[in-house]
Structure 1
Amino acid sequence: MSEDWLDTIKWNAGGLVPAVAQETGSGEVLMLAWMNRESLKLTRETGHAVYWSRSRNALWHKGEASGHRQVVRAIRVDCDADVVLLEVEQKGGIACHTGHHNCFFRALRADRWVEIAPVLKDPDVIYNQP
């Protein structure tokens, strides 16, 4: 299989591109993560979101620890080819490691950040921590 489509991406100096995960159907932005060439290729091949963890310096198969996988329905690129958009079906309804539906659960209100969405599941329960 030709990988010319990967050459279209404008990878940053570290070989990464930002990837926005958007929920199929609702259009809600769930999260922003990073992808490298291998993670984007694996995402296409497996049909599940695979990101690059900058903190762990390793591939991150979304949901591998939590079970909250992202089934990829479409892969898009923006006009400059420097941002990837994944349209995903979020399994379990939780995209954020904090137990929220998405990672954008805080909004600026009167000069402070306020949580505007509930925790759907305690992260300690999600990750089986004592």
Structure 2
Amino acid sequence: MKILFFIFSISLLLLACTTQSTGTVVYDTQNPVQENKVVKEFDVRLHDSFVEPPVMVVDEGDIVKLTFFFEDPVFVSLGDYVNDYYTTGQAAFTADASGEFTISCKSCDDDNAILGFLDVR
């Protein structure tokens, strides 16, 4: 009985050593901030139903992070990235050569929708 217990203990020890030495590295694909990428952050505010986009100078391939502060819910479309209506939130996207993004106010008429531009270098 002691011999079987000893063999069982040794096999468990070997199994534990084997599983610990063969770990896997998991890459977080949900995180838009990747190595060697520059993150540039900007605030966008809504004053009296008028969107005031900041002056944004970025390099192509930079991660652009926008933080929104609006009095009324707004809809934000950033290229392929589309977010729902919200008053305060953040959106991150990669700057491409076009540098376009759209901000519109849900409670405003379409004349208050603006097309913003990144100054992509």
Structure with greater proportional strand content = 2
Q: Classify the TM-score, shorter chain.
A: under 0.3
Q: TM-score, structure 2 length as denominator? A: 0.27
Normalising by structure 1, we get a TM-score of: 0.25
